[in-house]
Amino acid sequence: QGPELRFDGKVVIVSGAGGGLGRAYAHLFARHGANVVVNDLGIIKTKSGAQLKAADVVVDEIRKAGGKAVANYDSVEDGEKVVETALKNFGRLDVVVNNAGILRDRSFLRMTDADWDMVYRVHLRGTYKLSKAAWPIFLKQKGGAIINTSSAVGIHGNFGQTNYSSAKAGIQGLTSTLAQEGAKYNIRVNAIAPNAGTNMTATIMPPEVVEMLKPDYVAPLVGYLAHDECKDSGKLFQVGSCWVSEIRRQRTTGHTFLVSDGIKPEDIASKWRKITDFEDGQAHHVGSARESTMEMLSSIQQAAASRKKKSKSKSSNNKD
Ligand code: NAI
């Protein structure tokens, strides 16, 4: 184990940090020396019936533990106000953790426009707005880290979550592109797909699983991704309990038809097994959109060249 990864003098915004995962991240950053902006618009009802601002509760906890934190109560849709809180109180910004989230689960048939828009607004637009407000600061100081929150549901889909899964998949696209735009300015952007027992999941998980999936187990990955020690960007990690992994896509080698012959639905049908074969030992990861196109073009050129070679040797065999 190396030296402790510290954030002394750094300023970190954690959205939706009034509970669940965000609260655990805020505590971790504060313990490691960061100045933390605890953003949350939520209200907590105490047993006595009093209503407290969720962000205030977490800020109090952090301060009592000797850390430095301020609260912000704006929606992530007002990202610029959240960033303003960081600048006003701490004078700089180094890390943004886009974590705030809500669910409006319904089967696609029953989903209303309001369910769709609400989930999109908090997850995808909120991530966009907060990142957009932080971006010029990161560009100017030539450094910064953004950690976005996707979900296994954004990767695999899940019944009743068309709104949530597509917003979470959108966050993956946003992460990949921002990572590329930020690369030459030393801005790193990664995404995580967490699993944790929180308000969001407690109703659908048995208590013993909730206990195993403590938000505190997810926080160290977010801490590492936010730290200068981490050089990765544009990646997606899955994390839950004490398990951490990276996830990426694969594609099959596919089949290359000859441009000179054209291509019909029947040709696709005849090669379907090859097109969808992940088990031939050739399926592989493609690193970028450019690489993706280059590989496709080179397969087409190779196929054409090999046809040319074959017909040449055929005609020379015929001559012999
Ligand atoms: P949670 O419900 O415990 O916490 C989310 C927090 O976001 C709440 O405190 C809520 O008040 C706040 N929030 C909601 N809308 C907001 C807005 N517009 N502006 C500011 N704050 C807002 O949920 P949890 O489980 O901690 O989730 C955190 C993130 O992790 C979410 O993005 C969620 O989609 C994602 N996630 C969680 C999983 C889990 O297993 N808990 C699984 C996959 C993804």
User: Which of 73, 128, 164, 217 is flagged as catalytic?
Assistant: 164
Q: Do 56 and 30 belong to one domain?
A: yes
Ligand 1 within 6 A of 39 CB? yes
Q: Which two tokens stand for residue 16?
A: 């939706």
Ligand 1 within 6 A of 54 CB? yes
Tell me how many domains the chain contains: 2
Q: Do 171 and 61 belong to one domain?
A: yes
User: Which amino acid makes up residue 11?
Assistant: V
The confidence band for 200, taking pLDDT boundaries of 50, 70 and 90, is confident
Pairing state of beta strands 68-72 and 35-39? parallel
Q: Do 149 and 101 belong to one domain?
A: yes
Q: Which two tokens stand for residue 198?
A: 């929180």
- Produce one character per residue of 98-130: b if its CB has 16 or more CB atoms within 10 Å, e if not: bbbbebbbeeeeebeeebbebbbbbbbbbbbbb
Give the residue among 67, 44, 45, 64 at the shortest CA–CA distance from 54: 44
CATH code at 77? 3.40.50.720
Q: Do 270 and 303 belong to one domain?
A: yes
Range of the domain at 61: 11-247
Q: Do 151 and 264 belong to one domain?
A: no
The confidence band for 108, taking pLDDT boundaries of 50, 70 and 90, is very high
164, burial (CB in 10 Å: exposed 0-12, middle 13-18, buried 19+): buried
- pTM for the complete prediction? 0.95
Domain assignment of residue 254, yes or no? no
The confidence band for 320, taking pLDDT boundaries of 50, 70 and 90, is low
Give the residue among 168, 167, 189 at the shortest CA–CA distance from 180: 189
Q: Do 34 and 148 belong to one domain?
A: yes
Q: Do 89 and 149 belong to one domain?
A: yes
- Pick 2 or 291 by higher pLDDT: 291
Q: Do 79 and 191 belong to one domain?
A: yes
Longest dimension (CA), the chain: 99
Ligand 1 within 6 A of 79 CB? no
Q: Do 25 and 99 belong to one domain?
A: yes
Q: Report which protein residue has its CA nearest ligand 1's atom 18.
A: 75
Domain assignment of residue 167, yes or no? yes
